[in-house]
Amino acid sequence: MHKYILKRLLMMIPIILGVTFVIFFMTYITPGDPAVLTLGEAAPAEAVEALREEMGLNDPFLVRYFNYVINMVQGDLGNSFVTRRGVIDEILDRFPTTLMLAFYGTILSVIIGIPLGIISATKQYSIFDNAATAIGLLGVSIPNFWLGLMLILLFSLNLGWLPPSGLDTPAAWILPVITLGTGSAALVMRITRSSMLEVVRQDYIRTARAKGQKESIIIWKHALRNAMIPVVTAVGLDFGFLLGGAVLTESIYALPGIGRFMVESITRRDFPIIQGGVLFLAITFSFVNLFVDVLYAYIDPRIKSQYK
C-alpha cells in the first residue's frame, strides 16, 4: 500500500506542472495590464513601467514561467498585486470557509442520497422509487444560483427564519449548505440506486435470502458494502468539485471563501492569486482522489490484497 501511495504522489507531479502551465498561459494572454490596474489609469507612465519591472511583467513568458515553478517548489507562490500579501496567506485565510462549506455539503448529500438510493433500489418500480427518481432528476436540474436566490427569498426575506448572508451564527450555514448539497445529494442517490440494483441481483444475495437471513442484514451488511465503491468514488469526486465549484454559492451568500476571492481577483487582474488559487485547488483535489483510492482498500479486502 505504501508503494501505491508513493506512486500516486509521484504521478501528481506532472499533473501539477500541467495545471501551472495552463493557468500561467491563460493569465499571460488575458488582456489588461496589472500595473495599470494597480496604480490606476491616471498613473504616470514611468511609475507604471517601474511597477511592471518590479512585478517581472517585462520578462519573456518562458522566463516568467520557469521562475514561477522554481519559487513554487520552494513554497513561494508570489505576492498579490493588490494587497501585496503572500498568495499562500491570502488563500489559507479563506480556505477554511470553502473547506467547511464543501464538507457540510458533502455530508448533506450522503445523509440524503445514500438512504434514498438504497430504499429506491430495494423497492424498485414502486411509488417511492418513482418519486425518488423524480426528486433526483429535479435536484440535478436546478441550478445552484437559482436555488440559492429562491431560498433567500423564502426563508430570509419572507419568513425571516435564517440570515441571508455571512457566517456569524451556525444558522447562517444552513442555506449555503442546502444550496450546495442538493445537487450532490441527487447524484449520490442515483449512483447508489444503480449500484445497489446491480448488487442485489447477485447469486450470494439470493443465497443469503434462501438461508433465511434477515432482509435488513442482507441489505446493510452484504449488499451495501459491495455497492459502496461507485458511491465512494462519486462522493470523493463530488467533494473535490465542491471545493472549486462553490463560487456561485459563496457569491450569493457573500461568504469569504476561495471561490469568491478568485472571482474578485479575476476582475482585478490579480494574476498571482488566480494562479495560486487554481494550483491550490488542483493539489487539494488530487489528494482527495488519493484518499478515495486508499479508502477502496478498506471497503473491499480484494483491492487491499492486490497491494500486499
Q: Is residue 258 over pLDDT 80?
A: yes
pLDDT reported for residue 300:
65
- Structure confidence by residue, pLDDT tens digits, 187-239: 888 888 888 888 877 887 788 878 887 877 777 777 777 788 788 888 888 88
The burial class, CB within 10 Å (0-12 / 13-18 / 19+), for 184 is buried
Q: Please determine, for residue 308, whether its predicted confidence score (pLDDT) is greater than 60.
A: no
Quick one: average pLDDT of 16-31? 81
**Buried-exposed string 38-72: b where 16+ CB fall within 10 A, e elsewhere:** beeeeeeeeebeebbeebebeeeeeebbeebeeeb
Backbone angles phi, psi at 79, to 5 degrees: -120, 150
In this prediction, what percent of the chain has a pLDDT beyond 90? 0
Place of cell 487582474: 269
In the prediction, which pLDDT does 305 show? Answer: 61
